[in-house]
Structure 1
Amino acid sequence: MKKTNSQKLRLGSFVLIGTILFIAGVYLIGQRQDMFKKTFTLSSYFQNVNGLQKGNNVRYSGIDIGTVKNILMINDSTIKVEMSIEEKILSHIKKNAIATIGSDGLVGNMIVNIVPGKGASEIIENEDIIASYSRIGTDDILNTLNTSSENAAILTSDLLKITNRITTGKGTIGVLINDTIMAQDLKQSIHNLKIASRGASHTIAELNSIVSSVKTEDNTILGMLLNDSISAGKLKTVVTNLEISSAEIETLLNNANAVVSDFNSSNGAYNYMVKDTSLVNSLKSTLKNINEGTDKFNQNMEALKHNFLTRGYFRKLERQEKKEVKTKE
């Protein structure tokens, strides 16, 4: 059967539209997979990828620069993430950049964020590996919140028990809150403490004034000792001399004690004179005889002065003595 022109036109239009849609789809898919762009590979190691999948976006400072190329399990604690990055962004990423895994919004897909590093560093190259930083996952946050809520519940229960004990007047705080007599005693104690503190403040002020007057005035003995360096030097000299004198007095006393000890312990004349009673009696008798002999000698001399044989001699002596006295005068 022979085709009409309208059928040929419809067929040509369908083929043309189909071809255009096919080219558009291939272009869009190629754009998504970076098939028409020059890219380079960048890798990083993580302990947990938190649901990251191949084809997820890679961002640098909030800008999409590539996709996740591959995810490889190296061992039980290390996962390698390979990223396909646009070559035009190569000059902006340094080797000290850090890769992190986050979510696109609150409930969006997981993405890889590359954060610029601090300080100067070299430009990244193809097949380089950058450092990674693992953020706290949602599960860890939920577990932490669960533990915190349990602790809060336990704390609330304990606080409720404490509040009930305080309300019923149990414990020290309960007694203080509910016992009016103790409250009055406590109030009186605080009042007494205030009075004592005022008195202490007044005493301290007086002490400060006394100390200030001592520091500034030199007419008192204490002020002179504190402020006058010359008097302080003299006082120091006096104290030193007193120490020397006391040492010399102590030495003298020691020597006197030694002499007395020698007198008491020796067998010399002193010990003999002090302890021998017969000698003492002999000395007393001798002194008595001497006194009696002296008296008799004086009487004999007085008798010779009045004797006519010797009277002239004694008068001659008296005249010589008077003459000598006048000569001296």
Structure 2
Amino acid sequence: MIFFLFICFIIILWLIVNLDMNNKTYSIFIEFKNAYGIREGTIVRMRGVNIGSVKNIKMDLNSVLVLGSIKSRHILIPKNSIIETNQTGLLNDIVIDIIPLDKITERDFQDVNVLSPQCFKSKIICHLNYLQGERGLNYDDLVRAATRVSQRFDDPSFFNLFYIFLQNTIDLSDDIFSITLDMSNLLSIFYSILKKRLDFY
């Protein structure tokens, strides 16, 4: 009986370890020029699906280095991907979006292990890879751009230039209309002369 319990304990322990190994996380380093609102716990997404989160942030002299943890080693990210920060939701929550530019096929990445040293030769992002991130959609930038546009419309010099442009366009269209009318008159005269000649013969 004791031997049977011992065997069951070994099998259960093996299953737990194997399950843990199958779902083992891996980490990636992402460098940004600015934090852009990123903090510990910020979601990392790929194709709109939550695949991990930010574990640590370190500020350098010229950049911010983010340590992202990917949930499972089975989540494969192509090296040819755009990594950017975006704002989502009503509260403007920041997320890190990974946008793959290459189409992944199972045949290409069937035997790739992100934790192995051979992974660095493959086309996918491996454990402890160093990546460059950039700023994506930001509502603050949109608000600033809208404010600048509205300020331009309030500027009297802008309206003065716009009025001159409009006046010149109207004058030009009048000239084009008069030229077209003159051409039409000339063509009608030419047609009547030609008709008289043909009738004469």
**Normalized against structure 2, the TM-score is what?**
0.58
Instruction: Say whether the 8 Å CA contact 1:67–1:85 is kept in structure 2.
Output: yes
Q: Paired residue for 2:89?
A: 105
Q: Paired residue for 1:66?
A: 52
Q: Paired residue for 1:45?
A: 31
Instruction: Measure the CA separation in 2 of the matches of 1:71 and 1:207.
Output: 88
1:1-16 equivalence runs, <5 A: none
Q: Paired residue for 2:65?
A: 80
Shift of 1:87: 2.3
Specify whether residues 207 and 106 from structure 1 end up closer, same or farther in structure 2 by C-alpha distance, changes over 3 A only.
farther
Q: Paired residue for 1:93?
A: 77
What amino acid is aligned across from residue 25 of structure 2 in structure 1? T
Structure 1: which 4+ aligned runs deviate by more than 6 Å?
206-209
What amino acid is aligned across from residue 60 of structure 2 in structure 1? I
List per-residue Cα deviations over 1:15-58 (Å, max 9, x = no partner).
xxxxxxxxxxxxxxxxxxxxxx5210012111122111101211
Q: Paired residue for 1:149?
A: 150
List per-residue Cα deviations over 1:140-197 (Å, max 9, x = no partner).
33322222111111259846xx6xxxxxxxx99xxx9xxxxxxxxx9xx96x984x43
Q: Paired residue for 2:139?
A: 138
Specify whether residues 207 and 83 from structure 1 end up closer, same or farther in structure 2 by C-alpha distance, changes over 3 A only.
farther
Shift of 1:206: 8.0
Instruction: Say whether the 8 Å CA contact 1:97–1:130 is kept in structure 2.
Output: no
1:208-247 equivalence runs, <5 A: none
> What is the number of residues matched between the two proteins?
146
Candidates 171, 176, 186, aligned match of 1:200: 186
Q: Secondary structure at the match of 2:53?
A: strand
Instruction: Say whether the 8 Å CA contact 2:87–2:137 is kept in structure 1.
Output: no
Instruction: Measure the CA separation in 1 of the matches of 2:74 and 2:180.
Output: 75
Shift of 1:64: 0.9
Instruction: Say whether the 8 Å CA contact 1:45–1:81 is kept in structure 2.
Output: yes
Higher helix share: 1
Shift of 1:205: 4.9
Q: Paired residue for 2:6?
A: none
Shift of 1:71: 1.0
Q: Secondary structure at the match of 2:155?
A: helix
Shift of 1:208: 9.0
List per-residue Cα deviations over 1:175-226 (Å, max 9, x = no partner).
x9xxxxxxxxx9xx96x984x43442145558999xxxxxxxxxxxxxxxxx
What amino acid is aligned across from residue 81 of structure 1 in structure 2? V
RMSD across aligned positions (CA): 3.8
Specify whether residues 48 and 106 from structure 1 end up closer, same or farther in structure 2 by C-alpha distance, changes over 3 A only.
farther
Instruction: Say whether the 8 Å CA contact 2:33–2:134 is kept in structure 1.
Output: no
Q: Paired residue for 1:128?
A: 129
**Normalized against structure 1, the TM-score is what?**
0.37
- Report which of the two structures shows the higher radius of gyration computed on alpha carbons: 1
**Higher RCO (CA 8 Å, separation ≥ 6 residues):** 2
Instruction: Measure the CA separation in 2 of the matches of 1:144 and 1:56.
Output: 26
Instruction: Say whether the 8 Å CA contact 2:54–2:66 is kept in structure 1.
Output: yes
Q: Secondary structure at the match of 1:75?
A: coil
Instruction: Measure the CA separation in 1 of the matches of 2:194 and 2:25.
Output: 83
Shift of 1:95: 1.0
